[in-house]
Chains A and B, each alone.
Chain A
Amino acid sequence: MGVGKKIDEAVLLLPTDVNVGPGECVVLRGPNGSGKTTMLRILAGTLPPSEGEATLDGSPVDERHDLTRTAIAALVGAPATYRDLTLVDHLVLIDSTWGHVGERADDRAEEMLEQLEINHLEERFPHELSSGQQQLFHLAMVLVRPSSILILDEPEQRLDPDKRDLLTQILLDRKAVGTSLLIACHDPAMTEALADTVVDIRLE
């Protein structure tokens, strides 16, 4: 039956069925307004569905539950940033809140920035980045925290072709170590490279 979302008479998402297993990637496609972001928010446990139920290992997905938060890292909209912290500080903060302490956290933060080729920006504040650099920084914040499921809403937006290739490779590496990917994507090349299953979301 799948999950759907209605607010009064407005249909935000028609009932849609999605399943993702370990090391699999599901790509959501559909025109603007079809409900891809709504679907991702439901799957991330930040929005309750009005029809059906989203579950994680048999339990309802709810962002307030520790289990959901531990498993799912989501980039759906711009994430929280502190404007008085630099890029590397953000990654150290996130890593520390997940229990990683000491030099390892610093190393992990630097590795992540290097992986996304923005290590030269580590001492910048978020307001000093271009829009493409901001997108890479947001991806770094999501990727640095531990997770078994990655939910990404159009991660390719504002990235140049080289950076899209770089991101695709990073996500393929994550898949290879067993991370599940749920992605809304408009880039055919990325979809081709990543998707095990493509779900087309209907507008009507």
Chain B
Amino acid sequence: MTRADKAQLRQVRTAILGNRPDTSLSSTLYPVYVALIVTGSYGVPAAQQLFRSIDHQWLADHVWTSSGAVGAAILTALLLALVRLVGRVRGPVVPPLPYLDLVVASPMPRKVTLARNWRLSLGGSILGGLLVGTSVGAGLAIAKVAPPIVLLSTSVGGSLLGVLVAELWLQGQLQGSELGLRAESSLQGRRRNALALLDITGLRRQAASNVTMGGAALSGDLRTARLDAVRPPTHARRVRLKSSGPLTVFARRDLLGLRRAPGATLSGLGFAAAGSAGLMLSLQSPRTPTMAPLLSLVLCHLGFGAWCEGLRLHADNSGTSRLLGLPYRDTALAHLAVPVVAWVLTTIVVGAALSLVGMVGPTAVVWSLGTGALLAGTHLMAAFRGLPPIGVFGPKAGVPAMIFWYAKPILATLVVGTATAAWAARAASPWIAFFWLLIATAGVIAWGLALVAKRDRRD
């Protein structure tokens, strides 16, 4: 940035601020201060407790090994791939709409007008990585799982990961640009400066989406947030829906929907396969930390959910003129057929592969199949939860009440799934725990169906 650029940007900022004092430094430092306090007060103690609770022998056998390192590398690669995908929807450089229209759209160099937003995101990402690395390192050292020197490597590693995350996040935003970059473009010479390549249409789209999603999140309108975040499908338009019986046609519809959203289909498959494998493996030893089934169930929930778009779209349509010949409840249940079958097939394939190498037995496969019913129930709850009750917006409720309302379905998956899996891993016979998994699942499905009936009555 040249001296003239700096002077021009200063003038712009003066014009934007008018007579108001410049609070940009304090508003930048305040979140840093809060993050430091939260890390010190909660992050380090939580990490320490986590490492104390995990059996050291289990850690030595599973984590501090070459396969543990490969697992960590795979997880990091998945995280980075996810960050790049997120960048397409919400990148690191998204100034407010008026600033975009009045300043970024002007002839001033884009790398100058967008530099401040990029520096904030880059700084935030590095700080986030540093704090996570510090928490993990401090937790390991205090719990005496590793020598104190580990703090240095985790902090440096976390910071470097932060830089990588920010760069890939920006690359994702650039990739989401509708203009693209043709070979003959004069902008080719600026390829090394991604900020100069961001186009105003893409920036405006993300800024507008930011406002929509912010409003949707505050009002608990998950439908608006979801539809805004995911681009509408345009694939496989020539493939036709084949007519069939009233119930079968919904399964065909959902299969066609998944074919037209290959990203959701494959991510669902990846999450479901990893989650079911983790869940089955976590049942094999009483020394497995409870964190293992918990994290596996998060993946299971995400994977199953990726296949449930038909169910969610049906719930979205509640209250509109009905044109389908099936009752509302039956349509909802018909939309569960594809995700349930996909789960069963994934579990059987993953379970068979793990059985072949002697890592799990048939009990674990049956357990994972039973978990599919739990996931069907919690996704029924998630799709038909509707808008949050008025009480959530009351002065006494606040953000925690809203988060709890959002998280009820996944909490149901995690609480029921983790408690019964941990019980099964530690019990002499897993079947009593499995019986209780089924009982709790029946309760969750009944809860989901009650929400469907509630939406049906609301029309």
Contact = CB atoms under 8 A, between A and B. Distances in A.
Interface of A: 44, 46, 63-64, 66, 69, 73-86, 88-89, 92-102, 104-106, 123-125, 127-128, 141-142, 145
Q: Which of A74, A77, A92, A104 has the most CB of B within 10 A?
A: A92
A92 B459 CA distance: 24
B243 A101 contact: yes
Given A92-B243, A125-B232, A80 B237 contact: no
B244 to A, nearest CB: 6
A73 B237 contact: no
Given A85-B256, A89-B241, A105-B243, A127 B323 contact: no
B320 interface: yes
B343 to A, nearest CB: 20
B9 to A, nearest CB: 39
B246 A99 contact: yes
Nearest to B310: A82
B interface, by DSSP: helix, strand, loop or mixed? loop
Nearest to B247: A97
Interface in B443-459: 456, 459
Nearest to A104: B243
A72 to B, nearest CB: 10
A95 B256 CA distance: 17
Nearest to B238: A123
A177 B242 CA distance: 29
Contacts of A92: 240-243, 249
A114 to B, nearest CB: 16
Contacts of B152: none
Contact of A77 (B246, B261, B310, B321): B321
A128 B246 CA distance: 27
B384 to A, nearest CB: 14
Q: Which of A76, A88, A99, A101 has the most CB of B within 10 A?
A: A101
Contacts of A141: 323
Given A73-B323, A77-B320, A125-B232, 13 more contacts: A69-B325, A74-B322, A83-B233, A84-B257, A88-B241, A89-B240, A92-B242, A93-B250, A96-B243, A97-B246, A99-B325, A125-B234, A141-B323
A79 B319 CA distance: 9
B323 A125 contact: no
B16 interface: no
A74 B321 contact: yes
Nearest to A127: B232
A80 B246 contact: no
A98 B241 CA distance: 15
A79 to B, nearest CB: 4
Interface string B291-332: 000000000000000000110011011001111111100010
Interface in B219-238: 227, 232-234, 237-238
B313 A84 contact: yes
5 contacts: A93-B250, A97-B326, A97-B331, A101-B243, A141-B323
B426 interface: no
Contacts of B232: 83-84, 125, 127
B456 A64 contact: yes
B325 A79 contact: no
Contact of A101 (B233, B244, B257): B244
A85 B320 CA distance: 17
A142 to B, nearest CB: 6
Interface string B238-276: 101111111001100100110011000000000000000
A76 B206 CA distance: 33
Contacts of B314: 80
Contacts of B459: 46, 63
A75 B321 contact: yes
Contacts of A124: 237
A125 B327 CA distance: 25
Contacts of A145: 323, 325
A84 B261 contact: yes
Contact of B323 (A79, A100, A104): A79
B253 A85 contact: yes
Given A79-B323, A141-B323, A96 B249 contact: yes
Contact of B257 (A85, A96, A127): A85
A97 B241 CA distance: 13
A135 B309 CA distance: 25
Given A82-B257, A93-B249, A98 B240 contact: no
Contacts of A96: 243-246, 249
Contact of B320 (A79, A86, A127): A79
A105 to B, nearest CB: 3
A80 B320 contact: yes
A84 B256 contact: yes
A1 B145 CA distance: 82
B235 to A, nearest CB: 9
Nearest to B248: A96
Contacts of A88: 240-241
A66 B233 CA distance: 33
A153 B246 CA distance: 28
